[in-house]
Structure 1
Amino acid sequence: RFALSMFSISSFSQELRSPENPVRFNLQTLQNASGIEADATTRLWELWYQQTLLGGKMDVKVGQQSLDQEFMVSQHATPFMNATFGWPVLPSVDMPAGGPAYPLSSLGVRVRAKTSDAVTVLAGVFDGNPAPGVGDPQKLNAHGTNFGLGNGALFIGEVQYAINQPSETSADPKPAGLPGTYKLGVWYNNNHLTDQRFDNTGFSLANPASTGIPQSHKGNYSFYAVADQMVWRPSADSPQSVNVFARIMGAPGDRNLVDLGVNAGVTLKAPFKGRDNDVVGLAVGYAKIGSHAQELASDTAATTPGFPSRSAETVIEATYQYQVTPWWMMQADAQYFLRPSGGIPQPDNATTRIGNEFVLGVRTNIVF
């Protein structure tokens, strides 16, 4: 599979910071405009062995894994380009190195059990940091060959409940009801994290008397919920359907830059007659800045008058996937960001907030 994205960017006097990830570094957003952008390198992404047990009711996967392939996944969010509709903004910002998600992965074990026709349980334990060290995680683990097991541990579990799913036997009639999937999950990482406001003596990090050494917290965690639901189709055999999704997750506000992440959207499959594989969609992503990070911005404003406050970043995305041929898809996309990174200042002006940004994109995907 081959995919290519091209973006035209409009923003306020942004300086290009990296030739390898121009969208991410030029926009300075938390919710990256492209979910497939990564450093130009030869990289091992995943390498694992999977074994089926108990007559197919259970399977175990061992090896280098990327969690965004199985955990926190929203089926109806996949058509959108912004990274937050794949691996959400909260774990990508709060987990060490962004967590084991594309383009990184971690060694670990994942167990999946189908306890009934409707219920599936996932659980796993993985290395807690796919790219340990100081700096860009993609540079620290440039080729995906950091097979680490000494960087703390990440534990994750998820329960999935599916309704009105099509039968695995094509001869069976399709369910009359509309299909949907609902998920509840939790993750815990036992690494140490730094406080977003206070130093190790209790002073604000913006205080001139601060030591500059952030307070340390043991462990981090998040709870999350995902819902995918078809809400309309003309008939059980029709390719046309309207689908909605929603995903919400929270984390402690003292040690995390983002303590609440929410995204939701709607897609229409087969929007026009004869275009059975086309998809049009509208979605919104919301990333609330953690309480201590917001307070640090207020503390900074006390010593730097005019320093902008921080609250939340919101992205709105509209997209259209056009199936040119069975092996070739073209996608047009538009995204609008409100308060990038929740309201950070311009790189060259500490008293002027980065303005709202508009992004146009075109992606082509060729499968061979």
Structure 2
Amino acid sequence: MPPTSRSLFLAVLTLASRPALAASDVFSRSTMTGDWGGLRHQLEDNGIKFTGDYSGETAYNAHGGLHRSARYSQNLKLGARFDLSNIFALDNGGNVQLTINDRRGNSASEDLVGNRLPIQENFGGLYTRLTELSYERTLLTPALNVKLGYMAMGNDLGGLDSGILCNFMNAGFCGHPLNMSGGSGWTNYPNARLGVRVKYDLSSSWQLRVAAFNVDPESNGNSSRAWHLGPKYTTGTVVPLELVYKVQGERSGEYKLGYYYDSSDVKRIGSDKDVSGRSGHYLLADQAVWNDESSPGRSLYVFGQYSASSKAASPFTQWYGAGVVLYKPFQSRPRDTVALGYGRAVPNPRSRDILEDAAFDKGERFPAIDNAERLIELSYGYQVTPWLSLRPDVQYIIEPGAFSGRDIANALVFGLQIKSVL
């Protein structure tokens, strides 16, 4: 474990080690560090809730790709939520969220396979940063919820609230469709921006979400901006609009229809001319299709994703994803999951034309590659304790060089994800 991450990890352990590690409920409690001798529970009763989690992802390329080897990446997140109503005895005082994030490691996609969809969802932005400093409360009516401050767009928009997609290790599934961030000012977690998000409950099943976030490309992945809330150079504003429908009952489900517009001016792919504004749309869904009446909690869900982004300015124009997740696969394993997914990422034909022209100018042959990178992933989520899970994972990546214009053999990758709630 790298020094910075080790220090953060040990800081959490040190805070709770004596009372927590001596406790007899180490395998049954909800967090690894426990209740800190009662302090954690007392603080939460007083309006301050501390959270933390760690994830480590190891991927080994067994066949195809660029090299036979393994890579490891990790993410450590620490946070505190302040309930102002409780702390200051206010009526509807709202909540302040503070989150710090640290990432370390190496990329299996970049080093071993050469594909576009990150094999490890927690790789990227390898430094310590402020991930969120926001204020949230209801306004005027309980149906209206507003959050503003410094935060990641994907925390509230563009993904499925159920978390079903993070039964996978590849970032193509876990989170929101990646072409949204590849073709606009939409930012991936843990990148954060100044913005405001509004949720309005139209009914018990329908909700409308709208937001506006600053677009600042020069701060994306820039470690020197890790603790700066303000933008370095604003190019525009990205405005997502999302309609959410949730199915109630035993066979629950979730459906999202979204649209976003980025007012930034950017270069048109393959041209010196600017594109005035970029937009995209997406459709996300998950639905329970089977419940075992004799075994509560055992159910089968299906999910689907579709996203399209700007053909003029996005190197990644379309994403299709679908799959199934089985909860409680065995009677004796009530918190385990089995997940199988298929995804297809489509490069922009204009980007491919540029690659072909560059090869022609060099007198090189352009490889006969397909027009999309495809992903098949199978994982098993093994819940060791309430706070610790292991996820053995297999990914088969078809046409890894579809985005780079390289002739790369299909890759077979074995992975292991470890997650711990601190």
Does the TM-score normalized on the shorter chain lie above 0.5?
Answer: yes
| 1:124 paired to 2:178 | no
Counterpart of 2:130, as a letter, is: L
- Give the Cα separation in 2 of the matches to 1:338 and 1:141: 36
User: Which of 274, 283, 294 in structure 1 is aligned with 2:341?
Assistant: 283
Q: Is the 8 A contact 2:352 2:403 kept in 1?
A: no
Q: Is the 8 A contact 1:196 1:293 kept in 2?
A: yes
Q: Is the 8 A contact 1:255 1:292 kept in 2?
A: no
Shift of 1:287: 0.7
Q: Is the 8 A contact 2:383 2:389 kept in 1?
A: yes
- Give the Cα separation in 1 of the matches to 2:169 and 2:213: 27
User: Which of 353, 373, 377 in structure 2 is aligned with 1:295?
Assistant: 353
- Give the Cα separation in 2 of the matches to 1:181 and 1:237: 23
Shift of 1:141: 5.2
Shift of 1:197: 2.2
User: Which of 46, 52, 64 in structure 1 is aligned with 2:132?
Assistant: 46
SS at match of 1:25: helix
Report the equivalent of 1:207: none
Shift of 1:236: 9.1
Structure-to-structure mapping, 1:12-161, within 5 angstroms:
12-13=65-66, 20-26=105-111, 27-74=113-160, 75=162, 76-85=164-173, 86-96=175-185, 99-129=186-216, 131-132=217-218, 137-139=220-222, 143-148=226-231, 150-161=234-245
- Give the Cα separation in 1 of the matches to 2:257 and 2:226: 33
Q: Is the 8 A contact 2:238 2:260 kept in 1?
A: yes
Q: Structure 2 vs 1, CA of residues 114 and 312 (structure 1 numbering), >3 Å: closer, same or farther?
A: same
SS at match of 2:210: strand
Is 322-331 or 336-345 further displaced after alignment? 336-345
Is 240-249 or 69-78 further displaced after alignment? 69-78
Give the percent of matched residue pairs that are identical in Structure 1 and Structure 2: 26
Q: Structure 2 vs 1, CA of residues 225 and 13 (structure 1 numbering), >3 Å: closer, same or farther?
A: closer
| TM-score normalised to structure 1 length | 0.83
Report the equivalent of 2:388: 328
After superposition, the CA RMSD in angstroms is: 2.5
- Give the Cα separation in 1 of the matches to 2:128 and 2:356: 43
- Give the Cα separation in 1 of the matches to 2:166 and 2:66: 31
- Give the Cα separation in 1 of the matches to 2:349 and 2:382: 42
Deviations 1:214-257, CA, capped at 9 Å, x for gaps: x3211111011111100000229711000011010112323211
| 1:249 paired to 2:334 | no
Is 2-11 or 183-192 further displaced after alignment? 2-11
Q: Structure 2 vs 1, CA of residues 13 and 184 (structure 1 numbering), >3 Å: closer, same or farther?
A: closer
Q: Is the 8 A contact 1:344 1:354 kept in 2?
A: no
Q: Is the 8 A contact 1:321 1:330 kept in 2?
A: yes
SS at match of 2:342: strand
Is 56-65 or 14-23 further displaced after alignment? 14-23
Report the equivalent of 2:415: 361
Shift of 1:343: 5.2
Q: Is the 8 A contact 1:20 1:39 kept in 2?
A: no
Q: Structure 2 vs 1, CA of residues 103 and 236 (structure 1 numbering), >3 Å: closer, same or farther?
A: farther
Is 142-151 or 29-38 further displaced after alignment? 142-151
| TM-score normalised to structure 2 length | 0.73
| 1:179 paired to 2:255 | no
Counterpart of 2:156, as a letter, is: E
SS at match of 1:46: strand
- Give the Cα separation in 2 of the matches to 1:191 and 1:15: 41
Q: Structure 2 vs 1, CA of residues 195 and 329 (structure 1 numbering), >3 Å: closer, same or farther?
A: same
Report the equivalent of 1:204: none
Report the equivalent of 1:6: 58
Report the equivalent of 1:171: none
- Give the Cα separation in 1 of the matches to 2:207 and 2:370: 39
Structure 1, unaligned stretches of length 5 or more?
165-174, 201-214, 347-352
Shift of 1:301: 4.5
- Give the Cα separation in 1 of the matches to 2:243 and 2:66: 45
Report the equivalent of 2:366: 307
Q: Structure 2 vs 1, CA of residues 160 and 31 (structure 1 numbering), >3 Å: closer, same or farther?
A: same
Q: Is the 8 A contact 1:65 1:100 kept in 2?
A: no
SS at match of 2:221: helix
- Give the Cα separation in 2 of the matches to 1:343 and 1:103: 24
Is 74-83 or 109-118 further displaced after alignment? 74-83
Q: Is the 8 A contact 2:115 2:403 kept in 1?
A: no
- Give the Cα separation in 1 of the matches to 2:68 and 2:290: 45
Shift of 1:114: 0.4
Q: Is the 8 A contact 2:355 2:405 kept in 1?
A: no
Q: Structure 2 vs 1, CA of residues 287 and 120 (structure 1 numbering), >3 Å: closer, same or farther?
A: same
- Give the Cα separation in 2 of the matches to 1:25 and 1:197: 25
Report the equivalent of 1:233: 291
Shift of 1:20: 4.6
Structure 2, unaligned stretches of length 5 or more?
1-52, 74-103
- Give the Cα separation in 1 of the matches to 2:116 and 2:224: 21
